[in-house]
Amino acid sequence: MRIQIEAFFQFINNLPRKHFFALILLFVFLLVIAFLPSQQQKSKHIKRILTLSSEHGNSASVEPLSAIADEFGMRFANKEGDRKVDVEIVAGDTVSEIFQREGLSAALLQELLDVDQKYLRLGNLLPGQKLKMLMNAENKLLVLKVIIDRASTLTFTLKGDEYVSLLETKKGVWSHSLYKGIISGSFYINAKHAGLSAGQIQQISNALEEKINFNRQLRAGDSFKVLVAKNYIDGTYSFDSEVLAVLIKTRSKTYTAFLSEDGRYYDEDGLGLSKAYRRLPVNGHPRISSPFNLRRLHPITKRVSPHLGTDFAVVVGTRVYSIGDGIVLRAGYHPAAGNYIVIKNSRKYTTRFLHLSKILVRRGQRVEMGDLIAKSGNTGRSTGPHLHYEFHINGRAVNAMKVNLPLSKSVLRKDKKAFNKRRDGFLNEIKEA
Ligand SMILES: [Zn+2]
């Protein structure tokens, strides 16, 4: 210790004069700050370094936040004593730590997490996401905004004595891009070279995997054309994309795939290329302990508290399967939902599995219908072992036991006209280039 102090003073003595005075100045400044009463910090702005996760591809990736307009100030009048706090999440941050830092109670966080069961975003903050909080003079939280990504913001607003949540999603603009190339090596390399992303290439090979063996059947000189819809929010690519049409020409045959409104791929004649969906995420015919019910009354509070899923009474450890092909959008732990998985099955369909004991997939992973994804459990706020299963269409929960799933092999007769029109539109776009 002594040696360290001596070394320190020697270091100071050896400093050039300019640096020495700068050091003194800094020290005095720090002293002043340390003894300032904290009440004087009327409006505190915490700004932190933005660290983005290195994830990429088609999964719901976190985007730079610079493009998000700051509507916060416009929407909420600044009353006397109100305090605003901005936090940018860095790796290792937890929402409970942030609440603690701002003097907000654990009970408040619990309340918000209960409200968050609808969207499951607050308990699972990711680096690069942003929190905006507005507190009144008594440090009561009036508004909490979770800026999830460029497209979506989740807002908790105090209305009376309850918080209500609202997820706002910017739709963005879909625009079509055509990619083409000639096979010279592997399809993957050539498609990549043409500008397609790994996720899009995966979509292509998933769509045609039962028709072509991409490793063996394609030869040098074969050609491909791919039409992709890409989503742009405020002029910037949001990394949300969907392969609309594929045309692969080999010496002997032309293979085609067209994305239908139902989220599945069909060939030029409307014959199905991808597998259908299955109704239940578990085997057998388990008892439904609580059905989907938008008007369910909460047994204790007697308030309307919708049950957005179907509960299967199954023992802990029951195998849970993906009901269709898809990509794992999110997988993790949420205090209310427990271990959970969200799978994006198509542009329209999303499925969610809550209270799991074991998660067997990871975020960004591709799954196929019938893949084992989890073991059921009793984690989170659960009243007993069961699997809570949700089916969403365009972000809205629907009854998974009644939803009209594309279980058929080819385009339905009633949809055939619409499919043909769509297909011809895609073909025209491909030919024009
Ligand atoms: Zn449930």
In 3D, which of 255, 172, 246, 170 has the Cα closest to residue 212? 255
Nearest-angstrom CA–CA distance, 243 and 104: 45
Q: How far is the CA of 100 from the centre of ligand 1 (A)?
A: 30
Edge-to-edge order in the sheet of strand 223-233: 173-182, 223-233, 236-249, 254-259, 265-266
| pLDDT for the residue numbered 377 | 97
Give 108 Cα–ligand 1 centroid separation in angstroms. 23
Query: How far, in Å, CA of 170 to CA of 150, rounded?
Result: 8
> From ligand 1's centre to the CA of 406, what distance in Å?
24
The packing angle between helices 198-208 and 187-194, to 10°, is 130
Question: What's the mean pLDDT when you consider all of the chain?
Answer: 82
Taking residue 82's Cβ as centre, other Cβ atoms within 10 Å add up to 16
The rounded distance, in Å, linking the Cα atoms of 204 and 190 is: 13
Task: Give tens-digit pLDDT for 119-128.
Answer: 888 888 889 9
- Ligand 1 centroid distance, CA of 145 (Å): 26
Distance 290 CA to ligand 1 centre (A): 7
Report d(CA 137, CA 134) in Å as an integer: 10
Q: Average the pLDDT over each of 81-85, 307-311, 332-336 and give the range with the smallest value.
A: 81-85
Q: Distance from the CA of 263 to the center of ligand 1, in angstroms? A: 26
- Compute the distance from residue 8 Cα to the ligand 1 centre, in Å: 62
How far does the centroid of ligand 1 lie from the alpha carbon of residue 383, in Å?
9
Question: What is the CA(360)–ligand 1 centre distance, in A?
Answer: 21
Among 6-20, 148-162, 393-407, the minimum mean pLDDT is found in 6-20
DSSP character string of 289-352:
EE--BTTPBPTTT-SB--B-SEEE---TT-EEE-SSSEEEEEEEEETTTEEEEEEE-SSSEEEE
Range 322-349 burial, b when 16+ CB lie within 10 A, else e: bbbbbbbbbbbebbbbbbbbbbbbbbeb
Question: For the CA atoms of 245, 249, 252, 256, what is the dihedral angle to 10 degrees?
Answer: 0
Nearest to 310 by CA among 405, 227, 395, 397: 397
Q: What's the 375 CA to ligand 1 centre distance in angstroms?
A: 16
Decide: 193 and 181 in contact? Cβ < 8 Å: yes
CA of 333 to the centre of ligand 1 (A): 16
Q: Rounded to 5 degrees, what angle do the CA atoms 175, 178, 182 make?
A: 165
Provide the pLDDT for residue 219.
92
Ligand 1 centroid to residue 311 C-alpha, Å: 5
In 3D, which of 227, 212, 220 has the Cα closest to residue 182? 220
Distance 242 CA to ligand 1 centre (A): 31
Query: Ligand 1: distance of its center to the CA of 388 in Å?
Result: 4
User: Rounded to the nearest whole angstrom, what is the distance from the C-alpha of residue 307 to the centroid of ligand 1?
Assistant: 6
Average pLDDT over residues 71-95: 75
- CA 337 to ligand 1 centroid distance, Å: 9
For residues 264 and 240, what is the distance between their CA atoms, to the nearest angstrom? 17
Q: Provide the pLDDT for residue 23.
A: 52
Classify domain 42-169 by CATH number: 3.10.450.350
Cα–ligand 1 centroid distance for 46 (angstroms) = 38
Q: How far is the CA of 387 from the centre of ligand 1 (A)?
A: 7
Break the chain into its structural domains and give their ranges. 42-169, 173-276+410-432, 288-398
Instruction: Dump pLDDT digits (tens) for 223-261.
Output: 999 999 999 988 888 888 999 999 999 998 899 999 998
Distance from the CA of 386 to the center of ligand 1, in angstroms? 8
- Using the mean position of ligand 1's atoms as its centre, give its distance from the Cα of residue 340 in Å: 12
Report the separation in Å between the CA atom of 358 and the middle of ligand 1, taken as the mean of its atom positions: 17
Q: Do domains 42-169 and 173-276+410-432 have the same CATH topology?
A: yes
Name the token pair of 324.
Answer: 């269709």
423 contacts: CB under 8 Å, gap ≥ 6:
245, 258, 268
Distance between Cα 174 and ligand 1 center (Å): 35
Q: How far is the CA of 306 from the centre of ligand 1 (A)?
A: 10
Q: Write down the architecture of domain 173-276+410-432 according to CATH.
A: Roll (3.10)
CA Rg value for the chain: 27
Cα–Cα distance between 339 and 359 in angstroms, integer? Answer: 7
pLDDT of residue 300: 67
Report CA(286)–ligand 1 centroid distance (Å): 14
pLDDT tens, position by position, 337-366: 999 999 998 877 899 999 999 999 999 999
Cβ–Cβ under 8 Å, residues 274 and 260: no
Q: What is the pLDDT of residue 275?
A: 57
pLDDT digits (tens, 9 = 90+) for 154-197: 999 999 999 999 999 888 899 999 999 999 989 999 999 999 99
Taking alpha carbons only, the member of 222, 212, 213 closest to residue 190 is 222
**CB contact set of 417 (below 8 Å; sequence gap of 6+):** none
Contact 234, 151 (CB under 8 A): no
Q: Are 212 and 218 in contact (CB under 8 A)?
A: yes
Q: How far is CA 46 from the centre of its chain?
A: 25
pLDDT (mean) for 360-389: 94
Centroid of ligand 1 to alpha carbon of 309 (angstroms): 5
Ligand 1 center to residue 143 CA distance, Å? 28
Taking the centre of ligand 1 as the mean of its atom positions, its distance from the CA of residue 109, in whole angstroms, is 21
pLDDT tens-place string over residues 255-313: 999 999 878 889 999 988 865 788 899 998 899 999 999 988 876 677 888 899 999 99
Q: How far is the CA of 347 from the centre of ligand 1 (A)?
A: 24
- pLDDT in the model for residue 20: 54
CATH number of 288-398: 2.70.70.10
CA of 297 to the centre of ligand 1 (A): 13
382 C-alpha to center of ligand 1: Å? 8
291 C-alpha to ligand 1 centroid (Å): 8
CA gap 351, 393 in Å, rounded: 9
Closest by CA to 386, choosing from 296, 293, 286, 301, is: 286
